[in-house]
Amino acid sequence: MGITNDRGRYYWVKRVPKRFQGIVLGADGKPVSQVRVALHTDSETEARRKAAQVEAQRMAEWAALAAGDTAAARVHYEAACQIAAAHGFTYVPMGKLTGGDIDELLSRVMALAGRNPGPESREVARAVLGAVPEVMPTLPEMLTEYCDLTATRHIRKSEMQKRKWRLPRDRAVKHFLEVAAPKGKDGLPVPMRVDEISRSDALKFRDWWSVRVQKGMQAGSANKDFGHLSEMFSTWTELKRVDLANPFTKLRLEGDTEKTVPAFSRNWVANKILEPGALDDLNSEAVDVLLMMVNTGLRPSEITDAPLYDFCTDAEIPFHRVAPNGRQLKVQHTRRDIPLLGVSLDAAKRIVARGGIQKYHDKAGSWSNLVNKYLKNNGLKETPDHTAYSLRHYVENALLAAGVDDRVRADILGHKYKRPSYSDGGYLAGRREALQKIAL
């Protein structure tokens, strides 16, 4: 984009991009390679502001022209929405405009008055007056747009966290289309446009999940699908200003019991998991992550995703730092420092000696799958419901049994608690004193 001054007045000047050459026409109806628009000001500051607006309008108009040539209906519709927005209007289909508030229609007609006739002006008129056919995205396309619209939610997430966040939403869309979408010649689901999805389709999906739950699937899995689809739909329609009823509301299946992970008993941890040789067939890094949990109650990801410098084993009071470090913490109060003692300190020192977490960095899920399988195959699960995460619950129970103050327990485990902010460093000694009561 550029501006030029001609006899004290400023103009916007731009060379037509290659992808639009041949479709941008001059006053004589012939293609032009450069466009010049009067900005009607002698102020350079105002000229630059106006030039940015003109640039946005013209690029949207040219995109609409190009889309019209290639019959890309969806792109054409999106471009029309952008053109309308660039001229200060929300895109509204013509049928709704003519049947609605006459003042709204008149304001749009007046905004178009005085424009020179030509292909660009016609596209502007079609956009402002809602004459471009309204084309909705398919459900997978809506998911992609939803992710773009909510990008600021994930600024602090690592790439792995972003993938884990997107995965269940992709899965919900896949499940729904497998059940409700028509099938193509290849037998695969044909993605449905969002305005084609009916309440009946959503209820059909609920029925499909209901049968699966009755056969043993968790109702929570079904409700996650319903929740993801409903939230995506409502957010997308709200932010895109699309007037569509959400077909995915009120689908929740009742009667599910929340499955909780039980805590290991102290006897089991001391005499089974820490029995000499019990973990010998597990790789050393996986073992040390597990052992770091024993006296800290740390979440696996708080260990696997930590950089080397968060393993502060040489400090006066050795500790492990839980900090964002390029990833999003579960909640802000999980940021904390945890003293290291006993087998957990020994494990942290071995991790440091190896140069930090290598094999399972940013792969807490892979670590959990491996360790849980190992515990199962080697008789190290106290009950079938116990998992590696049961160590975190063990620490919580052990601290409670030792009479540790609830505020200190919350500090150690990263639970929410209304507490004062410490600045003298004494909190670390207090946490160490509490953990010494249960350390193995």
233 and 380 co-located in one domain: no
Higher pLDDT, 325 or 27: 325
Inter-CA distances, 231 with 24, 108, 430, Å: 41, 33, 43
Please state, for a pLDDT cut of 90, what percent of the chain lies above it.
Answer: 37
Q: Token pair for residue 37?
A: 């628009």
What is the model's pLDDT at position 268?
A: 94
Give the model's confidence band at 269: pLDDT under 50 very low, under 70 low, under 90 confident, else very high. Answer: very high
User: CB–CB of 20/62 below 8 Å?
Assistant: yes
33 and 152 co-located in one domain: no
Q: Which residues contact 393 (CB under 8 A, 6 or more apart)?
A: 261, 262, 263, 264
pLDDT tens-digit readout, 144-168 = 989 988 888 877 777 777 888 889 9
Give the model's confidence band at 230: pLDDT under 50 very low, under 70 low, under 90 confident, else very high. Answer: very high
Q: Establish if 256 belongs to a structural domain.
A: no
pLDDT tens-digit readout, 290-308 = 999 999 989 998 899 888 9
Inter-CA distances, 244 with 138, 176, 339, Å: 14, 18, 54
What is the model's pLDDT at position 346?
A: 94
Q: Which of 105, 128, 151 is the last residue of a domain?
A: 128
What is the model's pLDDT at position 331?
A: 45
221 and 331 co-located in one domain: no
Q: What is the CA radius of gyration of the chain?
A: 31
Cα–Cα distance measured from residue 166 to residue 228, given in angstroms and rounded to the nearest whole number: 10
Cα–Cα distance measured from residue 400 to residue 409, given in angstroms and rounded to the nearest whole number: 8
Among 375, 369, 350, 170, CA closest to 268:
375
Range scoring the smallest mean pLDDT among 180-194, 290-304, 385-399, 417-431: 417-431
What is the model's pLDDT at position 220?
A: 87
Q: Tally the C-alpha atoms within 13 A of residue 254's C-alpha that lie toward its C-beta.
A: 1
Cα–Cα distance measured from residue 161 to residue 128, given in angstroms and rounded to the nearest whole number: 41
* Predicted TM-score (pTM) of this structure: 0.56
Whole domain around residue 102: which residue ranges? 2-128
Q: Which of 128, 158, 182 is the last residue of a domain?
A: 128
222 and 81 co-located in one domain: no
328: how many CB neighbours lie within 10 A of its CB?
16
Q: Token pair for residue 361?
A: 């960095």
Above 80 in pLDDT, residue 416? Answer: no
Above 70 in pLDDT, residue 256? Answer: no
Mean pLDDT of the chain: 83
Q: Establish if 222 belongs to a structural domain.
A: yes
Looking at mean pLDDT, say which of 19-23, 151-155, 181-185, 355-359 comes out highest.
355-359
Q: Token pair for residue 199?
A: 């309440």
Above 70 in pLDDT, residue 36? Answer: yes
Residue 412 DSSP symbol: H
Cα–Cα distance measured from residue 272 to residue 440, given in angstroms and rounded to the nearest whole number: 13
Q: Establish if 244 belongs to a structural domain.
A: no
Inter-CA distances, 220 with 51, 224, 253, 256, 330, Å: 53, 6, 8, 7, 20
412 and 283 co-located in one domain: yes
Q: Token pair for residue 293?
A: 């949990």
What is the model's pLDDT at position 70?
A: 39
Work out how many domains the chain is built from and give that number: 3
7 and 91 co-located in one domain: yes
228 and 274 co-located in one domain: no
Q: Establish if 258 belongs to a structural domain.
A: no
**In this structure, what CATH number is given to the domain that contains residue 351?**
1.10.443.10
184 and 45 co-located in one domain: no
Please classify residue 392 by burial: count the beta carbons closer than 10 Å to its beta carbon, then call 0-12 exposed, 13-18 middle and 19+ buried: buried
